[in-house]
């Protein structure tokens, strides 16, 4: 049940005792005196999903207890629902969750359907494939997407998407490593770090976990952390082009990052899920930087290049040159993790991936990328014409808009109330995202144009 209250003297927390309303759970960031959304459980134990049924004697994983509830997208959905109840005729347009909308190109979809149909024949049936992925696809990824940086096909591990590989990498790294993340950041790095036990407690007053280095990436520092003040960590999660800021790190910035990792003996986990959107000459892979193979693992995905968010296909590159402190190659351990915890990506999806990387497939998927990039350009120009500072959008399907002095949830609420548009409050990506919203360009053109018109008349 949802209830809005005026709150006072509360501190942000997952669950806390309110002087007037027994046990409540805060479902959004807030300030004292501001209207907030509260979930009021029927029973206090519901607060933690605890029921009166039979209990096992198994203790809950303490790391999962430490994990903060992810309120961002559930809260956005709840607010959208509430808005629809209030204005049933409102034509809501979502510029929120970064999911693709354009159909998968014909050549790719047909290859998958032919492959699937062949599975019903004696001749075409295939069972388990190699855990590391189909040889042809590994080679196609290496030869097509890494042709100038000499990644070997045996260093490419095909996966069911990069989010899944982030967690498999955490399993590889274990709980003892120290980590750094960009702030703001894609939440999967931080949450998987907490789950595996790398972080300390969440500090409510800072909205940060202890023992994690948050590397601020703001317009003031050209969305690149000041490495001269950063302390050493074992692992550095780095995403470029970045979700949510849309910033693609320059060659010089990535050179600095690689040098920093080398000097400190750190490993970079480099997320290039949006590399296909880069058009300004910024590196599409960390391996364009000399020496990067000795310090970096790269994760990537077909999701945002080919509309495979539902099909599920990605890859991870672990170079042979990447060694632990004892000289043992990381690739051998990753191979073991993949063989143990993953049994290979869907053969149908891999057939689709191979079609994407054919010359006809590449043409088709890049034309969809161009379509989204044009959407991003429309959004970028819209915010610029409104006199707002907007970032990203050039090398990424996200536009990151600054509303100086405003809280991001307030901006979200105002745009929803007045323009029937769903955006994403920047604070959902970390404390460094406050005062910003993220809008996605993954919509249909007519929705983007309509959203642009509404935004211009709003401000
Ligand atoms: C930066 C980044 N990495 C990884 C992912 C997950 O991609 P996949 O669909 O391959 O799991 C996303 C999805 O939005 C993302 O934004």
Find residue 297's DSSP bridge partners: 269
Strand ranges of the sheet holding 235-239, from the earlier edge strand across to the other edge: 156-159, 314-317, 296-301, 267-271, 235-239, 179-183, 212-216
**Of the candidate ranges 10-24, 303-317, 326-340, the one whose mean pLDDT is the lowest:** 10-24
Which residue, among 262, 257, 261, 228, has the nearest Cα to 242 in the 3D structure? 257
303 lines ligand 1 (CB under 6 A): yes
pLDDT band at 47 (very low <50, low <70, confident <90, very high): low
Question: What is the distance between the alpha carbons of residues 227 and 323, in angstroms, rounded to a whole number?
Answer: 23
142 has pLDDT over 60:
yes
What confidence tier does 48 reach under pLDDT thresholds 50, 70, 90?
A: low
Ligand 1 centre to CA of 166 (Å) is 9
Q: What proportion of the chain, given as a percentage, has pLDDT over 90?
A: 86
Name which of 2-11, 47-56, 71-80, 214-223 the model is least confident about.
Answer: 2-11
For ligand 1, is residue 301 a contact (CB within 6 Å)? yes
Check whether the bond before 191 is cis (ω within 30° of 0): no
CB 72 less than 6 A from any atom of ligand 1: no
Closest ligand 1 atom, CA of 301? 10
d(CA 56, ligand 1 centre) in Å: 35
Closest atom of ligand 1 to CA, residue 242: 1
C-alpha closest to that of 96 among 301, 397, 434: 397
Q: What is the pLDDT of residue 19?
A: 35
Q: Residue 41: pLDDT above 90?
A: no
Mutational test site, ligand 1, from 98, 159, 162, max ligand atoms within 8 Å of CB: 162
Relative to the CA of 166, which ligand 1 atom is closest?
A: 4
Closest CA to 458 of 425, 428, 423: 423
* pLDDT value at 2 more than 70: no
Identify the band that residue 74 occupies on the pLDDT scale cut at 50, 70 and 90: confident
Residues 6+ apart with CB under 8 A from 228: none
Across the beta sheet with 424-425, what order do the strands follow? 389-392, 398-402, 436-440, 424-425
> What's the gap in Å between 458 CA and the centre of ligand 1?
31
- Cα–ligand 1 centroid distance for 188 (angstroms): 8
**CA 405 from centre of chain:** 26
The verdict on the CB of residue 314 being under 6 Å from ligand 1 is: yes
Which tokens in the block code for residue 207? 């909205």
- Residue nearest atom 3 in ligand 1 by C-alpha distance: 273
16-30, 55-69, 111-125, 398-412: least confident range: 16-30
pLDDT of amino acid 7? 37
Binding site membership of 408 for ligand 1 (Cβ less than 6 Å): no
Pocket test for ligand 1, best of 169, 217, 299, 304 (most atoms within 8 A of CB): 304
Point out which residues pair with 436 in neighbouring strands: 402
pLDDT of residue 452 exceeding 90, the answer is: yes
Q: Does the Cβ of 309 fall within 6 Å of ligand 1?
A: yes
**Most informative mutation of 101, 158, 163 for ligand 1 (most atoms within 8 A of CB):** 163
Q: Is the C-beta atom of 186 inside 6 A of ligand 1?
A: yes
Report the candidate in 93, 51, 108 with the shortest Cα–Cα distance to residue 416. Answer: 93
CA 85 to ligand 1 center in whole angstroms: 31
Lowest mean pLDDT among 16-30, 204-218, 323-337: 16-30
Distance (Å) from CA 273 to ligand 1 centroid = 6
Beta carbon of 100 within 6 Å of any ligand 1 atom: no
C-alpha span between 66 and 147 (Å, rounded): 43
User: Cα separation of 366 and 278, whole Å?
Assistant: 11
3-state secondary structure the chain: CEEEEECCCCCCCCCEECCCCCEEEECCCCCCCCEEEEECCCCHHHHHCCCCCCCCCCCCCHHHHHCCCCCHHHHHHHHHHHHHHHCCCCCCEECCCCCCCCCCCHHHHHHHHHHHHHCCCCCCCCCCCCCCCCHHHHHHHHHHHCCCCCCCHHHEEEECCHHHHHHHHHHHHCCCCCEEEEECCCHHHHHHHHHHCCCCCEECCCCEECCEEEEECCHHHCCCCCCCCCCCCCEEEEECCCCCCCCCCCHHHHHHHHHHHHHHCCEEEEECCCHHHCCCCCCCCHHHCCCHHHCEEEEEECHHHHCCCCCCCEEEECCCCCECCCCCEHHHHHHHHHHHHCCCCCHHHHHHHHHHCCHHHHHHHHHHHHHHHHHHHHHHHHHHHCCCEEEECCCCCEEEEECCCCCHHHHHHHHHHHHCEECEEHHHHCHHHCCEEEEECCCCHHHHHHHHHHHHHHC
Distance CA 314, CA 188 (A): 15
Residue 270: phi, psi to the nearest 5? -105, 120
| Per-residue confidence (pLDDT) for residue 51, from 0 to 100 | 75
> For 371-424, how does the pLDDT look when each residue is reduced to its tens digit (9 = 90+)?
999 999 999 999 999 999 999 999 999 999 999 999 999 999 999 999 999 999
pLDDT band at 315 (very low <50, low <70, confident <90, very high): very high
Q: What are phi and psi of 394, to 5 degrees?
A: -90, -45
Residue nearest to atom 1 of ligand 1 (CA): 243
Q: Give me ligand 1 centre to Cα 162, in Å.
A: 6
* Ligand 1 atom nearest to 308, measured from its CA: 9
**Candidate from 25-34, 149-158, 250-259, 347-356 with smallest mean pLDDT:** 25-34
Length in residues, the chain: 459
C-alpha–C-alpha distance, residues 388 and 214, integer Å: 26
């Amino acid at each position: 049940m949802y209830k809005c209250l005026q709150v006072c003297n509360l501190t942000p927390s997952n669950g806390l005792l309110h002087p007037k309303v027994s046990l409540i759970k805060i479902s959004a960031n807030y300030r004292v005196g501001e209207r907030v959304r509260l979930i009021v459980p029927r029973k206090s134990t519901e607060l933690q999903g605890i029921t009166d049924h039979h209990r096992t004697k198994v203790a809950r994983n303490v790391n999962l207890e430490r994990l903060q509830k992810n309120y961002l997208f559930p809260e956005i959905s709840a607010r959208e629902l509430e808005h629809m109840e209030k204005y049933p005729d409102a034509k809501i347009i979502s510029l929120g969750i970064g999911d693709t909308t354009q159909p998968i190109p014909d050549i790719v979809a047909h290859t998958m359907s032919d492959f699937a149909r062949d599975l019903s024949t004696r001749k075409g049936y295939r069972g388990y494939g190699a855990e590391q992925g189909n040889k042809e696809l590994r080679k196609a990824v290496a030869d097509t997407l890494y042709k100038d940086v000499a990644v070997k096909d045996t260093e490419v591990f095909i996966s069911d998407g990069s989010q899944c590989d982030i967690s498999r990498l955490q399993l590889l790294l274990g709980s003892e490593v120290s980590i750094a993340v960009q702030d703001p950041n894609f939440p999967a790095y931080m949450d998987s770090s907490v789950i595996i036990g790398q972080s300390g407690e969440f500090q409510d007053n800072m909205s940060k976990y202890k023992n994690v280095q948050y590397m601020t990436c703001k317009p003031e520092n050209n969305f690149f952390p000041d490495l001269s003040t950063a302390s050493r960590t074992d692992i550095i999660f780095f995403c470029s082009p970045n979700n949510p800021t849309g910033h693609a790190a320059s060659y010089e910035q990535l050179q600095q990052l690689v040098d920093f990792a080398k000097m400190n003996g750190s490993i970079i986990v480099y997320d290039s899920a949006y590399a296909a959107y880069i058009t300004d000459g910024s590196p599409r892979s960390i391996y364009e930087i000399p020496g990067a193979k000795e310090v970096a693992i790269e994760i990537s995905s077909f999701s945002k290049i080919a509309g495979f968010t539902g099909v599920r296909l990605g890859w991870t590159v672990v170079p042979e040159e990447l060694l632990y402190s004892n000289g043992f190659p990381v690739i051998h351990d990753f191979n073991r993790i993949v063989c143990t915890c993953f049994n290979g990506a869907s053969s149908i999806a891999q057939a689709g991936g191979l079609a994407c990387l054919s010359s006809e497939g590449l043409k088709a998927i890049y034309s969809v990328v161009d379509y989204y990039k044009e959407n991003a350009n429309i959004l970028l120009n819209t915010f610029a014409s409104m006199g707002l500072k907007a970032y990203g959008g050039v090398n990424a399907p996200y536009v990151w808009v600054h509303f100086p002095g405003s809280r991001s949830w307030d901006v979200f609420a105002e745009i929803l109330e007045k323009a029937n548009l769903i955006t994403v409050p920047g604070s959902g990506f970390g404390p460094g995202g406050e005062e910003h919203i993220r809008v996605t360009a993954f919509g249909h053109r007519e929705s983007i144009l309509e959203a642009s018109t509404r935004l211009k008349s709003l401000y």
